[in-house]
Amino acid sequence: MSNSEARRFSPSEIELDRRAFRLARKRKSTLVAFISTLAFAVFAWFALVSSPGWPRVEQSFFNWETAVEAFPAVIDGLLLNLRVLFFSAIGVLVFGLTLALLRTLRSPIFTPIRLLARGYVDLFRGLPLIIVLYLVGFGIPGLRLEFLGRIPVEVLGTVALTLTYSAYVAEVFRAGIEAVHPSQRLAARSLGLTYGQTMKLVVLPQAFRKVAPPLMNDFVSLQKDVGLISVLGAVDAVRAAQIEVAQFANFTPYVVAGLLFVLLAIPTVRAADYVTNRLAKREQAGGVL
């Protein structure tokens, strides 16, 4: 192999000049961004601290001692939220997917089932979550079904969350299923795959990829909404904070609980961004996904 073949091209004067300029421009804009962010933060900080009510607000919302005192109870409560989150997320995936699949059935025999699934989705997308929580949380025990025994409130909360979120997630899945090109389904059937195999092996894997970003957004919402089970009296992070608030006559425990929820959400939010970006890149590259 000759030398000239092995060597890569060396950039021309013009190109080197362009690169130097781009680098300088990038440095400059980074610097500008940094300075303006800093200036804004300093300004906001002084505006807050110099406001007449700040000392009182600081005392009742950002009190370090109270935060430390309340922390263990709030963390304990958060573990309950995590348990509820885990089970409702699984419930939502299974039930939401089932609803979506029922809505895609074409044959006239399934018309009643399809209509039922649609009615369900309409109903639970419209009902405020808090009302579903009350209806399930106080309604089901009110039925006095002996064989069920005493159902713990966190289980009732999980059921209510699952019922509501399944309606949203069913719509997300349905959109994903419909976004798969119809030829893909026909191609699968023409190979002799059954309806079920076609769904499982061809349509759903593609639909899942398409809906990953909206699905993760719904998961972020669910992460916050598990805090609402406190209205049923479950001692979760929010309820634990409320108890501490009453005890210390100070609102700091709410801030602690809030920050913990934010910390919980950040990884999911980042992951959702990452997945969304990656899918967008694939689309731009001319991919069919």
CA distance 267 to 166: 23
If the CB atoms of residues 126 and 287 are measured against another protein, the closer one turns out to be 287
Instruction: Based on the shown chain and the rule CB under 8 A, indicate whether residue 278 belongs to the binding site for another protein.
Output: no
Confirm if 169 and 92 have CB atoms less than 8 A apart.
yes
Q: Does 50 bind another protein (CB under 8 A)?
A: no
Report if residue 6 touches another protein, rule: CB under 8 A: no
Q: Is 14 in the site for another protein (CB under 8 A)?
A: no
CB 176 within 8 A of CB 205: no
Residue 76 neighbours by CB under 8 Å, 6+ apart: 235, 240
104 touches another protein by CB under 8 A: no
Residue 213 CB, nearest distance to another protein (Å)?
16
Q: Is the dihedral of CA 231, 234, 236, 241 positive or negative?
A: positive
- Shortest Cβ 286–another protein spacing (Å): 6
Return the residue of 98, 104, 184, 268 that touches another protein, per CB under 8 A: 184
The contacts of residue 279 (CB under 8 Å, 6+ apart) are 209, 210, 212, 213, 289
- For the chain, what's the residue count? 289
Measured from the CB atom, the residue of 73 and 203 that comes closer to another protein is 203
Q: How far apart are CA 240 and CA 211, in angstroms?
A: 35
We find the least distance from the C-beta atom of residue 209 to another protein, in angstroms, to be: 7
190 touches another protein by CB under 8 A: yes
- Residue of the chain from 35, 145, 201, 266 that contacts another protein (CB under 8 A): 201
| Binding of residue 263 to another protein (CB under 8 A) | no
Tell which one of 127, 151, 193, 279 touches another protein (CB under 8 A).
Answer: 193
CA distance 232 to 225: 13
Q: Which of 30, 36, 59, 194 lies at the binding interface for another protein (CB under 8 A)?
A: 194
Q: How far is the CB of 104 from another protein (least distance, A)?
A: 17
Contact between 206 and another protein (CB under 8 A)?
yes
Q: Is the dihedral of CA 249, 254, 256, 257 positive or negative?
A: positive
Ramachandran region of residue 233, left (φ > 0), alpha (ψ -120 to 50) or beta?
A: left
- 249/289 with CB nearer another protein: 289
**Interface with another protein (CB under 8 A):** 181, 183-184, 186-194, 197, 201-202, 205-206, 209, 282, 285-289
